[in-house]
Amino acid sequence: MVVECYLKYYMTKKQTVYPPKVLDRLDIILNSLNPAMEGDAPIARRLRFFFQPWPKDIAAMRSQASYVKPTYRANRIANQQPTEADWDKAQSIPFLEPYGNPEEPKFRTDARLLWNTNGIYGRVRCDGVPGEKPNGDIFRRCNIEFILSPGLKQENVFQFVMASTGEIFTGKQEWQPIAQAYDASWKCDGFTSKVTQKNDKGWTLEFFVPYSGFYTEAPTTYDSWLFNIVRNKFSEPKEYTSSSMTNGSNRAMKLFGYLKFRGVKK
């Protein structure tokens, strides 16, 4: 049945989530094999090895099928720069397992966003020792990805990657009116990022993304954009978490959550 599902749904339809009735059948089959997986016989060990990932994979598929895009409400700040009181009032963005696995992340990530007419401000506090291997690119270091699509039409996507080493990377992709290749040479004028704290218990990042840097007008109160924040923890034990489900593609706009711009919080 495993091969049948792979050929029928993935190879033919590129459908990575199986229908609920199919998942129910797989659950029944797995449960019926539990007695055969007991003991230390070679066949029992083989069955345990083969079926080990399936319970989590089935749970993840069920989560993907029932996924509801999250909404984050960012407070507007009254001044040109956020104050500590502004950050305290801001909501913390919940993080999840990007493939839909129901397990909670093991390492806390406290990400908050604020905005004004100039741009979007972010602060991310990451628990856990940051991994900073001397070799490799920014995508192999502990980093945060802030990915943004202005408005709700999924016309373009802008990616900001910020590592615990202070390195940054930016890129963009235009999808409308004509889909174009990802542009890794794009730079956002005025974009700033700074690691403000780092020790063996974690690290803190603050960043600013100006609207002018990607040729977008400032939003007005109650506007909504699409966004995702991803944390890539490359120090052991590694962990991959995000604010929106990704199914392995961090720039999958169809899965992005909503960034709602609200007024000044009193």
What is the percentage of the chain residues whose pLDDT exceeds 70? 91
Summarize the confidence of residues 65-86 as an average pLDDT. Answer: 91
Which residue range is the domain that position 32 belongs to? 2-65
pLDDT digits (tens, 9 = 90+) for 157-203: 999 999 999 999 999 999 988 999 999 999 999 999 999 999 989 99
pLDDT, mean over the chain: 88
Helices 20-32, 54-65: inter-axial angle, 10-degree rounding = 160
Residues in CB range of 262: below 8 A, 6 or more apart: 73, 74, 75, 76, 221, 222
Q: Structure pTM?
A: 0.82
Would the pLDDT of 83 be above 70? yes
54 and 93, same domain (yes or no): no
The angle subtended at Cα 263 by Cα 259 and Cα 264, nearest 5°, is 120
Q: Does the structure show a pLDDT above 90 at 239?
A: yes
Domain identity same for 159 and 216: yes
Number of domains in the chain: 2
pLDDT in tens, 138-148: 888 899 999 99
> Do 122 and 223 share a domain, yes or no?
yes
Task: Choose the final residue of a domain: 46, 65, 84.
Answer: 65
Q: How many CA atoms lie within 13 A of 79 on its CB side?
A: 7
Asked if residue 145 and residue 35 are part of one domain, the reply reads no
**Burial track 116-154 (b if 16+ CB lie within 10 A, e otherwise):** bebbbbbbbbbebbbbbeeeeebeebbbbbbbbbbeeee
Let me know whether 259 and 201 are in one domain: yes
For residues 88 and 23, state if they share a domain. no
pLDDT for 207 beyond 80: yes
d(CA 82, CA 265): 12
Residue 61 pLDDT: 73
Cα 198 off chain centre by: 22
Average pLDDT over residues 250-264: 94
Q: Are residues 194 and 128 in the same domain?
A: yes
Residues 128 and 29 both lie in one domain: no
Separation CA 14–CA 64 (nearest Å)? 15
As a whole number of angstroms, the distance between CA 190 and CA 85 comes to 24
pLDDT at residue 111 greater than cutoff 90:
yes
80 and 52 together in one domain:
no
CATH of the domain at 118: 2.60.40.1190
CA distances, 44 to each of 51, 58, 191, 254 (Å): 11, 21, 56, 41
Residues 126 and 252 in one domain: yes
Decide if 201 contacts 127 (C-beta within 8 A).
yes
Asked if pLDDT for residue 223 goes beyond 70, the answer is: yes
- Least Cα distance to 224 among 176, 264, 192, 256 occurs for 256
Task: Write down the pLDDT at residue 137.
Answer: 82
